[in-house]
Structure 1
Amino acid sequence: MIIETFKLFGVTFIASLIGVIPPGLVNMTVARTCLERGKKNGMLVAIGASVIVFLQALIAILLAKYIFNNPFVNNILLRTGAVVFLLMAIYFFVKAKQKDVKIKVYEHAHRRSFFKGVMMSTINVLPIPYFCAVAAGMSVNGKIEYDSTRVFVFSMAAALGTFATLYAYVVSFLKIEKKTETITKYSNYFMGVLMLLLVIITTIRIIYTWR
């Protein structure tokens, strides 16, 4: 049981860490805050965003418990998920091929840095379906049985993984600012490969449910 819990933490942490690598709304807000207001404020934005990710992961795992305890919903979701992951993989590979990468940073002046991170992360609702897919992928047999401890571990790992990547943005963005386009390109390739892996895992689960 303990080993499974550690595995749950490790997989969720890595998935969360990887998921925040491609430059987007939250991490670019962290980076811009560092440039404009210093690393301390950038760190507060990262903390605020990570708190929301904890809640988003909590919602995701609770949804996953319901969904995969319902055979009909489970089957429909698996088929839909496989298509969605494939489309996302295509999207990331297309983005990686683009030469000009434009990153939009949303600024909210006169707001405290912590609440700025909370707001940016709240606007970004994509982590909920992402973590729901992660939870599904870790249970090939379709049985997700998480007690309160594992639900907490899953949510905490998601938050810590997010914070780890955002912290990396805080401490290194001043050095890598000119290489953002290159980072975006290879991050998109990586995310594309990750989506293909999720397609494979989901397909395996579809085959398994028909046995």
Structure 2
Amino acid sequence: MIFITPLFLGFISAFVGISPPGLINMTAAKVNHKEGRRNALWFVFGAMIVICLQVFFAVLFAKIINRRLDLVTLMREIGFGIFATLTVYFLWLAKKPKDKIRKLKKKSKTKRFFHGMLLSSLNFLPIPYYVFMSITLASYNLFSFETDSILIFLIGVVFGSFLVLYIYISYFNRTENKRGFIMKNMNTIVGIITGLISIITLINIIQYYW
């Protein structure tokens, strides 16, 4: 059970974090649409390497912050503000995303692999996200910053991230109507997810001050 918990939490954190349409998952879908699944998977493999490094350093940074109770509280409050703002934006302000697949030039597997690494390197959002998630989970005694727990959590993140990216690759290979439905409702889905995270974070903050 001690190994299953961080594995499951890493999987869920990654699934929630990478599910909204973003640079990596949408590009993976486009590569699959234009160049086939093999090139798309090489792109994903390249992105996964950088994601692993980002998560590892994010958790190590969170370990340092976790020793300072004042910083932990500050991170919770900042996280609540960010996710609450995102909830309002995605549910009420954001325009519906357009399901457009731009033309991509055919590239080799090696180029797609490094392309995945490059785009993932340009995406810094996973770092603050996993800092916030690991500190929040640790505050509920669901996660510890021991070496074994960190590595198992990282494995869970890898599985979760790969599953989401693979779903994007497989799903966007279907009909235009099915793609259009999920894209039209994606803002609502993301808004609900960030709203739930905001509520959990707010409860955590209230419990701390009470």
Provide TM-score, normalisation by structure 1: 0.85
Is the CA contact 1:60–1:129 (under 8 Å) kept in the aligned structure 2?
yes
Matched, 1:188 2:187: yes
Q: CA deviation at 1:68?
A: 1.9
Which of 85, 100, 107 is residue 83 of structure 2 equivalent to?
85
Task: Output the CA distance in 2 between the equivalents of 1:142 and 1:7.
Answer: 11
Moved more, 99-108 or 151-160: 99-108
One-letter amino acid matched to 1:90:
V
Task: Output the CA distance in 2 between the equivalents of 1:143 and 1:99.
Answer: 36
Alignment of 1:101-112 (within 5 A): 101=98, 112=111
* Secondary structure of 2:138's aligned partner: coil
Alignment of 1:46-85 (within 5 A): 46-85=44-83
Matched, 1:12 2:10: yes
Task: Output the CA distance in 2 between the equivalents of 1:63 and 1:139.
Answer: 13
Matched, 1:160 2:159: yes
Task: Output the CA distance in 2 between the equivalents of 1:116 and 1:205.
Answer: 39
Q: CA deviation at 1:36?
A: 2.3
Residues 34 and 10 of structure 1: CA distance in aligned 2, closer, same or farther (over 3 Å): same
Is the CA contact 2:24–2:120 (under 8 Å) kept in the aligned structure 1?
yes
CA displacement, residues 162-204 of structure 1 (integer Å, 9 cap, x when unaligned): 1111112223322144433421343332222222222222223
One-letter amino acid matched to 1:25:
L
Q: CA deviation at 1:11?
A: 2.2
Residues 208 and 69 of structure 1: CA distance in aligned 2, closer, same or farther (over 3 Å): farther
Is the CA contact 2:34–2:104 (under 8 Å) kept in the aligned structure 1?
no
Residues 15 and 63 of structure 1: CA distance in aligned 2, closer, same or farther (over 3 Å): same
Residues 145 and 12 of structure 1: CA distance in aligned 2, closer, same or farther (over 3 Å): closer
Which of 24, 28, 45 is residue 30 of structure 1 equivalent to?
28
One-letter amino acid matched to 1:82:
F
One-letter amino acid matched to 1:81:
G
Is the CA contact 1:50–1:163 (under 8 Å) kept in the aligned structure 2?
yes
One-letter amino acid matched to 1:89:
T
What residue in structure 2 maps to residue 121 of structure 1? 120
Residues 106 and 147 of structure 1: CA distance in aligned 2, closer, same or farther (over 3 Å): farther
Task: Output the CA distance in 2 between the equivalents of 1:106 and 1:84.
Answer: 34
Unaligned runs of 5+ in 1: none
Aligned length: 208
Percent identity, aligned pairs only, is 28
Moved more, 49-58 or 19-28: 19-28
* Secondary structure of 2:26's aligned partner: helix
Task: Output the CA distance in 2 between the equivalents of 1:119 and 1:144.
Answer: 31
